[in-house]
Amino acid sequence: MSPEMPVSTSPPQRFIGLDIHKYYLVAVAVDGELNQVFGPKRVALADMEAWMSQTLTSQDALVIEMTTNTWQVYDELLPHVHSVTVVHPPHVKLITRAQVMTDRIAALNLARLLAKGLLTGIWVPPQEVRDLRALIAQRSKMVRLSIQARNRLHALLHSRHILPPPGSLFAPEHREWWRSLPLSLAGRVQIENDLETLEFAEKQIARLEAALAALAAQDQRVGLLAQLPGFGLITIITFLAAVGQITRFPSAKHLVGYSGLNARIHDSGLTTRTGRITKAGRRDLRFVLVEAAQTAANTHPFWKAELARLEPRLGR
């Protein structure tokens, strides 16, 4: 689980922006009147524990941007301060669109925005959700790797006008057929590399899916979601990892917005129109929901009929 938020009954006195990098961070602090009272201070991540003990207090409110090592830094900071706010970089346009940007300016702008209450923090997932997201992200990477290897092998056959054998082209029984093709040294090396890449990716996918299945067996929500048309194991696990705690969404509309499946709306004066989906939410959640909808529309009688009714007017 994530560290518990320290209990503080008084408002923060300092607002500290942290610009985090791979090996160091830069800290700048302002007070409630936006006066700079600390920094810029560059701190190596290896020295962070000592810096936190010497510098931070329970009257400090910190803000950090989402990056690769955000959750590790968040967990280390939280016990030392009043609060830690994590923000999504695209939501901080003052920083991301600035023409002149340095570590000091980025940290200072974060601190000032926090002091004036202009930042909306993102949800901080507990450790089990972070672990689940990591497994799913790794599986997605391996799936992309296997697809790339298959595409290269298909392209090689196409470029040399070679007809593939019947059946599954990448099944184990066809590996010798690949190796027996009359190709140059470069072509044989390419085939060997891609076949080994494909074998590696498939082995990794199988291992990851076994771990995801074991985790799914411990979650009672999986059985409920499995009753929905189009929802398979990977779709369910991806959905649960992306959503996390469903209670954090006040309504179904908020969840739709989080997935980026809500329609664009322009409503000004006498003009009101809607457009395509915003695609402004989590990409992985949107992908599996669209995939589930397509599967349901192709296989489930009710949704097949709904698609046939709506497609002439809305398109597919």
Give 101's pLDDT tier (boundaries 50, 70, 90).
confident
First and final C-alpha spacing in the chain: 42
Give 27's pLDDT tier (boundaries 50, 70, 90).
very high
pLDDT digits (tens, 9 = 90+) for 133-192: 999 999 999 999 999 999 999 999 999 999 998 888 998 889 889 989 999 999 999 999
Among 75, 84, 69, smallest CA distance to 21 is for 69
Mean pLDDT estimate for the chain: 91
Averaged over 101-126, what is the pLDDT?
Answer: 92
Task: Give the integer Cα–Cα distance in Å for 104 and 21.
Answer: 12
Task: Give the integer Cα–Cα distance in Å for 225 and 144.
Answer: 26
Task: Give the integer Cα–Cα distance in Å for 119 and 114.
Answer: 6
DSSP 256-287: HHHHT-SEEEEEETTEEEEEEE---S-HHHHH
Give 222's pLDDT tier (boundaries 50, 70, 90).
very high
Task: Give the integer Cα–Cα distance in Å for 222 and 103.
Answer: 44
Give the lowest-confidence range in 69-78, 130-139, 193-202, 272-281.
Answer: 272-281
